[in-house]
Amino acid sequence: MSDKKIDDVTGISTTGHEWDGIRELDNPMPRWWLWTFYATIVWALAYTIAYPAWPLISSATNGMLGYSSRAELRTELDGAVAARADYAAAVAAAPVEDIIADEALRQFATSAGAAAFKVNCVQCHGSGAAGSAGYPNLNDDEWLWGGTPEDIRVTIAHGIRFEADGETRFSEMPAFGGMLGRDEVTALATHVKALGEGGDLSGPGAELFANNCASCHGEAGKGDITLGAPDLTDAIWLYGSTSADIAAQIRAPRHGVMPGWIDRLGETTVKELTVYVHSLGGGQ
């Protein structure tokens, strides 16, 4: 039981609580503190009426103000969309070349494109757009289907070998494994490697190349972007640059597929992606 008594030193009554001879004085709380405490109670009640608070069986009270964090997010997102509406409308109206020529529009489209790239493109091309074996590096200056803004836009919009889109880019290299013998493929691979790195171009591969490959890749092996045929003389190899890699590609070519994005992302976002990809350093 508590044992209230008056403290000798201060003359104030104690609460009766005692710990090792130390007793607690029963001083009143400061008034401002007490009133603040009452105010917080009033505030808390008002708050639970005004805002969603009390849990019910399957939901909660909605509150008189009708607030929800989802609606607040919606408002903020709408606000962000509205804030960039002018630029977005300008991007939608202008051809890609004009966007690139206008500094302010280019910066806007590059930022927007970078954001769209991170969501839609990095899964294959990598976060730095450097690609990997089978997935082209978008930073370099070789373009299978052309590196002008319009070329890039068409590729992004309609994809490559994307059957759902009738305007998709399409090319198919035959599998020479069934047509050429093992030695012939090796000779051809040696020739193709020599095209880029220098070396003997008069070997048996030269004739094989002229007969089988030059129709798409050109007499000199420079490729043809209208056919999506890669340049075989440069330093960039999508599927690897060793003789074995080249021979494998001659025997049974792999064909990458890229989806077309126009239906999923819309015209404006495709343009923004185009500007971003074009800005990576290899755009023409």
Q: Give the nearest distance from C-beta 103 to another protein in angstroms.
A: 6
Q: Give the nearest distance from C-beta 132 to another protein in angstroms.
A: 11
Q: Give the nearest distance from C-beta 235 to another protein in angstroms.
A: 4
Closest listed residue to residue 216, CA positions, set 174, 256, 253: 174
User: Which is nearer to another protein, 144 or 187 (by Cβ)?
Assistant: 144
* Paired residues of 18 in beta bridges: 23
Q: Give the nearest distance from C-beta 283 to another protein in angstroms.
A: 10
User: Which is nearer to another protein, 107 or 226 (by Cβ)?
Assistant: 107
User: Which is nearer to another protein, 52 or 218 (by Cβ)?
Assistant: 218
∠ CA 269-271-273 to the nearest 5 degrees? 70
User: Which is nearer to another protein, 27 or 75 (by Cβ)?
Assistant: 27
Q: How far apart are CA 213 and CA 156, in angstroms?
A: 28
3-state secondary structure of 240: coil
Count the Cβ atoms, other than its own, within 10 Å of residue 129. 21
User: Which is nearer to another protein, 98 or 140 (by Cβ)?
Assistant: 140
Count the Cβ atoms, other than its own, within 10 Å of residue 124. 15
Q: Give the nearest distance from C-beta 131 to another protein in angstroms.
A: 9
Q: Give the nearest distance from C-beta 231 to another protein in angstroms.
A: 7
User: Which is nearer to another protein, 62 or 233 (by Cβ)?
Assistant: 233
Give residue for tokens 């009554």.
13
Count the Cβ atoms, other than its own, within 10 Å of residue 255. 12
Burial of 258 per CB tally in 10 Å (0-12, 13-18, 19+): buried
Q: How far apart are CA 13 and CA 152, in angstroms?
A: 86
User: Which is nearer to another protein, 163 or 197 (by Cβ)?
Assistant: 197
Q: How far apart are CA 5 and CA 1, in angstroms?
A: 13
Q: Give the nearest distance from C-beta 149 to another protein in angstroms.
A: 14
Question: What is the full DSSP assignment across 268-280?
Answer: HHHHHHHHHHHTT
∠ CA 161-266-125 to the nearest 5 degrees? 50
Residues that bind another protein (CB under 8 A): 10, 27-30, 103, 106, 126-130, 137, 139-142, 231, 234-236, 279, 281-282
